[in-house]
Chain A
Amino acid sequence: MHELSIIASLFEILLQKAGDAKALKITGVKLNVGKLSGVVPQALETAFEAYKKGTIAETARLEIEELPLKVLCQDCGLETFQDSYIFVCPGCRSTSLKIRQGTELSLEKIELEIE
């Protein structure tokens, strides 16, 4: 359960960006969370709700987009979604796969109120 420390890191970025934009309020936050990020979206939501109290994001809505794991075969170029955690290309059986999506833990968008 390291979601609270992730939310603390998120707030460092949020407050910095909101300060730069001279925002009065943060009203919405969108995150991308990959299947292989090691983070549970529901726990992130709980941590966000707890952390936002008393900040300019007090009324902010959190949106989380969960991204599936996508891999690219380095041998045949086939791109596939992975849900079995068997890193073998279904096209050519190669094990030389590169993760293209699914490790993200990123802030995509902030909605602000500015004067």
Chain B
Amino acid sequence: MSKKGVKQKELLVIEDILGSNKKIAAEIRAKLDARGILTINFMSSPGAGKTTLLEKIADRLKPGYRMAVIEGDIETERDAERIRAKGVPAWQITTGGACHLEAKMVAKILPELPARLDLLFIENVGNLVCPAGYELGERLRCVLLSTPEGEDKPKKYPKAFITSDCLILTKADLIPYLPYDQDKVKKEALELNPRLKIFVTSAVTGQGLDELADFFIARLDRPPHA
């Protein structure tokens, strides 16, 4: 029912819908690289232990390396307060409902970062699905998976594992109490992504925490500050 003077037109576009997020992420990456800051994106389900792990890493990076944390949550300032209690600068982004952080949210924080900084951790909103689709300008992406979540998660939520550089298995101290097959989780995660570097950790016993902190320091490739 073409009206007089009105024409139909087909426009071929081929445009990445999240292209604007990728562009902002690339700008963030370039800025942080230029300042020599290693940026690490932590993704996991709620309650896997992201904040606790950051508290433990903070203890191990001090005093030689300076870290800061950007916290993402739907509501509350709680996680940033926990990190600040460790003497680490922290910024809380409350997304007000959004299930993931986007690069433009991180970009707003950049001007506030301390002048001297070695590592910037971005703790994403607790969610194993949506954050995987949004680059934030990170150099390293880590997915955390806790023992009680079960060993079947990598294949159920493949994108988070396929796009990550590290898999950090948390709450390893609970393994004796739960039906949990650690070899299976490692095997399935590596089937998805053979390049995954896997760490087995426990914030309770301290297992794997030095190794993880040393890995970040090695990636930074810089001697500690005096």
A binds B: yes
Q: In the bound complex, do residue B162 and residue A1 qualify as a contact, i.e. CB atoms below 8 Å apart?
A: no
Q: Inside 8 A of A115's CB, which chain B residues have their CB? A: 5-7
At the interface, yes or no: B179 with Cβ under 8 Å from chain A? no
Task: State whether A87 and B98 are in contact (beta carbons under 8 Å apart), knowing that A6-B18, A110-B11, A110-B13 are contacts in the complex.
Answer: no
Total A-B Cβ pairs within 8 A: 94
With an 8 Å Cβ cutoff, the count of chain A residues facing the other chain is: 36
Q: Would you give the 0/1 interface string for A78-115, flagging 1 where the beta carbon is closer than 8 Å to chain B?
A: 00000001111000000110000000111111111111
A40 to B, closest residue via Cβ: B129
Q: Inside 8 A of A88's CB, which chain B residues have their CB? A: 191
Looking at A2, A39, A109, A110, the one whose CB has the most chain B CB atoms below 10 A away is A2
Q: Inside 8 A of A76's CB, which chain B residues have their CB? A: none
In which size bucket is the chain B interface? Answer: 20 to 34
At the interface, yes or no: B208 with Cβ under 8 Å from chain A? no
Q: Inside 8 A of B9's CB, which chain A residues have their CB? A: 21, 23, 111-114
Complex alpha-carbon distance, A9 and B21, angstroms? 9
At the interface, yes or no: B115 with Cβ under 8 Å from chain A? no
At the interface, yes or no: A50 with Cβ under 8 Å from chain B? no
Q: Inside 8 A of B194's CB, which chain A residues have their CB? A: 87, 95-96
Task: State whether A37 and B15 are in contact (beta carbons under 8 Å apart), knowing that A85-B155, A88-B191, A115-B5 are contacts in the complex.
Answer: no
Complex alpha-carbon distance, A96 and B194, angstroms? 8
Q: Would you give the 0/1 interface string for A1-21, flagging 1 where the beta carbon is closer than 8 Å to chain B?
A: 110011001101100010001
A25 to B, closest residue via Cβ: B6
Q: In the bound complex, do residue A2 and residue B7 qualify as a contact, i.e. CB atoms below 8 Å apart?
A: no
CB distance from B68 to the nearest CB of A (A): 26
At the interface, yes or no: A38 with Cβ under 8 Å from chain B? yes
Q: Inside 8 A of A31's CB, which chain B residues have their CB? A: 17
Partner of B11, one of A17, A95, A106: A17
Q: Inside 8 A of B192's CB, which chain A residues have their CB? A: 85-87
Complex alpha-carbon distance, A73 and B129, angstroms? 27
CB distance from B190 to the nearest CB of A (A): 8
Looking at B15, B21, B129, the one whose CB has the most chain A CB atoms below 10 A away is B15
Q: In the bound complex, do residue A27 and residue B8 qualify as a contact, i.e. CB atoms below 8 Å apart?
A: yes
Q: Inside 8 A of B10's CB, which chain A residues have their CB? A: 109-112
Q: In the bound complex, do residue B99 and residue A106 qualify as a contact, i.e. CB atoms below 8 Å apart?
A: no
CB distance from A25 to the nearest CB of B (A): 8
Q: A104-B16, A109-B12 are in contact. List 14 more A-B contacts (CB 8 A).
A: A9-B21, A10-B17, A36-B162, A87-B193, A87-B194, A95-B194, A106-B17, A107-B13, A107-B15, A110-B10, A110-B13, A111-B8, A112-B8, A113-B8
Which of A's residues lie within 8 Å of B, judged by CB? 1-2, 5-6, 9-10, 12-13, 17, 21, 23-24, 27, 31, 36-39, 85-88, 95-96, 104-115
Could you list some 23 contacts between A and B, CB below 8 A? Answer: A1-B130, A2-B100, A2-B129, A9-B17, A9-B18, A12-B20, A36-B162, A38-B129, A85-B155, A85-B158, A86-B191, A86-B192, A105-B16, A105-B17, A105-B18, A106-B14, A109-B11, A109-B13, A111-B9, A111-B10, A114-B6, A114-B7, A115-B6
Closest A-B pairs by Cβ, 8 of them: A95-B194, A2-B130, A38-B133, A110-B11, A86-B191, A38-B159, A112-B9, A107-B15
